[in-house]
């Protein structure tokens, strides 16, 4: 285990890190500049830090706790600015009463540069391990490499927006596939369906089929299967002899189901074509009674908050960690997740600082074993 050192990070330095990272474009595959800024932050605080084979920023230390979040963001330019906005609806009642009503606008401020910066600061202040992973927004390449390259830590806090008083315990899983079909070309007046019609008919049948296994209309979305087409392409082939269709699709998997059964169900609706399925990401649902959940709840209460336990309908790197590591974990971070990927993405700076305090408090408790 690397030597564990602790350093105090003042509020100005914490804000400087956040603003620098938000001002540094880091869409998936283009994270190098942001990664170098993280490295400079850890080096300035006498921490060992390096980039691994896939580009993850790793600062090993006290491995009883690993704080980790992703460096990449989705594409999109939002002018970076800090505005004083006491009426901003993303502020809670308690936030609105605070003196600091500044709001940071910019791509990644919520998903997940805010959580990333908060975790980097908390890792320096407590001397626990940190990893900034690559490409969470695409294929989670950084998380997949990490679980193969190192043993499980004592506990994991994964960084995604939950609100400073929220703790995310569950995510649905994901299986993605690509449908491919080819049919003979012919005059469009002919009644026989072509490949494009087969593609759309197949997907309509899949949506109907999964609606019957994923719960009824009164179930929460978390307990349902969500079937979503991501892209579709089709038309006459270059030689003019066939009609081709390609459709990329995703199925979100609730904890009560598994990828294999959904894949079998979808394949059973095929009349023409094939589906090439990717590696599934299983759902995860952690107990609210784990040491990580208890540590975060206690830290939120000590910051005068009322902890909220959350389940998310999407998928995160926590799914990857939970599949491979047998250790307690939860997801936490500042920001309103309704603003993920949104054109008005923004983060109240008061919430960012409060999240740092919660993470620092919780990580210290976990490192000392107080939350066990």
Which of 128, 115, 162, 110 lies closest to 14 in space, CA to CA?
115
Q: What residues of the chain score a pLDDT lower than 50?
A: 92-96
Q: Biggest alpha carbon distance in the chain? A: 74
Give the model's pLDDT for residue 94: 46
Is 47 within 8 Å of 61 (Cβ atoms)?
Answer: yes
Could you give the CA distance from residue 370 to residue 54 in angstroms, rounded to a whole number? 35
Active site positions, annotated:
72, 136
State the helix-helix crossing angle for 259-267 and 195-213, rounded to 10 degrees. Answer: 140
105 contact partners, CB below 8 Å, separation of at least 6: 78, 79, 80, 81, 82, 83, 344, 345, 346
Could you give the CA distance from residue 17 to residue 319 in angstroms, rounded to a whole number? 28
Residue 364: burial class (beta carbons within 10 Å; 0-12, 13-18, 19+): buried
Which of 333, 330, 321, 323 lies closest to 290 in space, CA to CA?
330
Give 42-69 as a DSSP string: HHHTT---EE-TT--EEE--EEEEEEEE
Running DSSP on this structure, what letter comes out for residue 86?
T
Give the model's pLDDT for residue 85: 83
Q: Can you give the pTM of this predicted structure? A: 0.89
Is 340 within 8 Å of 78 (Cβ atoms)?
Answer: no
Could you give the CA distance from residue 14 to residue 27 in angstroms, rounded to a whole number? 22
Beta bridge partners of 251: 175, 227
Give the model's pLDDT for residue 369: 83
Residue-range domains of the chain with CATH = 11-172+284-368 (3.40.630.10), 173-277 (3.30.70.360)
Give the model's pLDDT for residue 238: 85
């Amino acid at each position: 285990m690397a030597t564990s050192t602790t350093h105090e990070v003042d509020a100005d330095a914490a804000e400087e890190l956040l603003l620098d990272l938000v001002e540094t474009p880091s869409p998936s595959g283009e994270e190098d500049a942001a990664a170098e800024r993280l490295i400079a932050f850890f080096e300035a605080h006498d921490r060992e830090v390096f980039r691994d084979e896939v580009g993850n920023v790793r600062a090993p230390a006290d491995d009883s706790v690993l704080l980790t979040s992703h460096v990449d963001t989705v594409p999109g330019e939002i002018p970076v600015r800090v505005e004083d906005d006491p009426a901003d609806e993303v502020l809670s009642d308690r936030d609105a009463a605070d003196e600091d009503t500044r709001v940071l606008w910019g791509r990644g401020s919520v998903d997940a540069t805010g959580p990333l910066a908060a975790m980097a600061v908390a890792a320096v202040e407590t001397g626990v391990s940190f990893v900034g992973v690559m490409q969470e927004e695409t294929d989670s390449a950084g998380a997949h490499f990490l679980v193969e390259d190192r043993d499980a830590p004592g506990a994991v806090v994964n960084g995604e927006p939950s609100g400073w008083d929220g703790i995310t315990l569950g995510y649905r899983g994901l299986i993605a596939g690509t449908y491919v079909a080819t049919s003979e070309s012919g005059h469009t007046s002919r009644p026989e369906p072509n490949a494009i019609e087969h593609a759309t008919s197949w997907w309509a049948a899949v949506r109907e089929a999964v609606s019957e296994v994923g719960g009824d209309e009164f179930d929460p979305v978390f307990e349902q299967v969500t079937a979503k087409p991501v892209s579709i392409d089709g038309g006459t082939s270059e030689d003019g002899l066939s009609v081709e269709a390609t459709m990329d699709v995703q199925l979100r998997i609730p904890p009560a189901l598994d990828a294999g059964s959904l894949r079998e169900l979808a394949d059973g609706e095929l009349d023409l074509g094939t589906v090439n399925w990717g590696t599934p990401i299983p759902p995860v649902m952690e107990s609210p009674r784990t040491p990580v959940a208890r540590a975060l709840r206690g830290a939120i209460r000590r910051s005068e908050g009322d902890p909220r336990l959350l389940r998310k309908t999407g998928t995160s790197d926590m799914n990857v960690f939970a599949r491979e590591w047998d250790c307690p974990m939860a997801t936490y971070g500042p920001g309103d997740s309704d603003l993920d990927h949104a054109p008005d993405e923004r983060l109240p700076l008061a919430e960012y600082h409060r999240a740092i305090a919660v993470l620092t408090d919780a990580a210290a408790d976990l490192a000392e074993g107080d939350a066990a």
